[in-house]
Amino acid sequence: MRKPVLSALSDLSMPSSNLSEPVSDVLLRIEELSLHYGKNQPPVLQIGNLAIDRGQTVGISGPSGSGKSSLLYLISGLLKPSHGKIIWNGTDITTLGEGETDRWRRKSIGFVFQDFHLIDEVTPLDNVLIPASFIGWRINDATRKRAHELLDQVGVPLARKSTSDLSRGEQQRVAIARALLFDPPVILADEPTASLDDAASKTATETLFSLAGSNRTIITVSHDQDVIDRCGRVLRFDKGALIDDSANIKEKAELA
Ligand SMILES: Nc1ncnc2c1ncn2[C@@H]1O[C@H](COP(=O)(O)OP(=O)(O)OP(=O)(O)O)[C@@H](O)[C@H]1O
């Protein structure tokens, strides 16, 4: 799918302290959602009702073209649905204007892309700091310190001068650090290991879940079974429909 990358990068999160108080355990509620890419085209995605709780780790799986990335871009507000509601923490983001959506996204979401979307010519540190520079704030010492710490945590030495000299695995770990710069409560990841070899995939997966995982909600699209296995809940899609929800399977097992 065509991805509104620049917009996502320019809106990569702000401090979670700006969020309103939680109203319930449900963080995200989707109601009667559908997406058509063309006026007379059939929907590429149709979901009746779906709720995701605060702190859940959710894997989205399914064959190519089943609508997984479209769902991620809808719930991040980067795409508008043809119909339906996407309610985050009590706010239906489909009713927000562009500027309001951007502000909401900034304080709420960190995004990890399959193909990193880093700037090759600048240092890894500058890439981690991109969200701060996009917002136009003077990058203060605390933010710079946080970026240093994150680079250390993801195992990319500060001394590295050019991002293009990093391995693909290191680049993805820089992208994970960037998504975490402002400590967003939610991480959305679109195939975070798809372009990595096995060893780099394992390290990136470990980094994503260990660094982002403790108090955050993670929703990740992935074909990678290791990533899916790290998720507490798995949603499986086919032809634009949600065909399996492991939360329901667990519920049914408990009732039996
Ligand atoms: N910009 C677009 N214009 C028209 N159709 C699109 C666009 N983006 C995606 N589609 C179509 O929507 C459907 C769902 O695409 P989407 O990328 O969400 O699927 P996916 O499950 O993420 O696939 P993959 O695993 O290959 O990334 C596909 O049939 C795709 O061709």
pLDDT digits (tens, 9 = 90+) for 61-99: 999 999 999 999 999 999 999 999 999 999 999 999 999
Q: What is the pLDDT of residue 136?
A: 66
- Say if ligand 1 is within 6 A of residue 114 CB: no
Pairing of strands 83-88, 91-92: antiparallel
Q: What is the pLDDT of residue 60?
A: 98
**Smallest CA separation from ligand 1 atom 31, residue:** 65
Band the pLDDT of 39: cuts 50, 70, 90: confident
Tokens for 2?
A: 């065509």
Tokens for 33?
A: 């959602």
Tokens for 102?
A: 């951007």
Q: What is the pLDDT of residue 86?
A: 98
Report how far ligand 1's centroid is from the alpha carbon of 141 (Å): 41
For domain 18-255, the CATH architecture is 3-Layer(aba) Sandwich (3.40)
- Say if ligand 1 is within 6 A of residue 64 CB: yes
DSSP state of 23: -
Average pLDDT of 99-128? 92
Q: Which atom of ligand 1 is nearest to the CA of 62?
A: 21
Residue pair 104/77 in contact by the 8 Å Cβ criterion: yes
Residue pair 89/25 in contact by the 8 Å Cβ criterion: no
- Say if ligand 1 is within 6 A of residue 68 CB: yes
Report how far ligand 1's centroid is from the alpha carbon of 223 (Å): 15
Q: Which residues contact 43 (CB under 8 A, 6 or more apart)?
A: 34, 35, 36, 82, 240
Integer Cα distance of 21 and 137 in angstroms = 25
Residue pair 35/91 in contact by the 8 Å Cβ criterion: no
Band the pLDDT of 249: cuts 50, 70, 90: low
Integer Cα distance of 232 and 218 in angstroms = 10
Residue pair 150/158 in contact by the 8 Å Cβ criterion: no
Q: Which of 39-43, 53-57, 202-206 has the lowest mean pLDDT?
A: 39-43
- Using most ligand atoms within 8 A of CB, pick from 3, 44, 82, 243 the residue to mutate for ligand 1: 44
User: What pTM, to 2 d.p., does this model score?
Assistant: 0.87
Say what percent of the chain tops pLDDT 70. Answer: 85
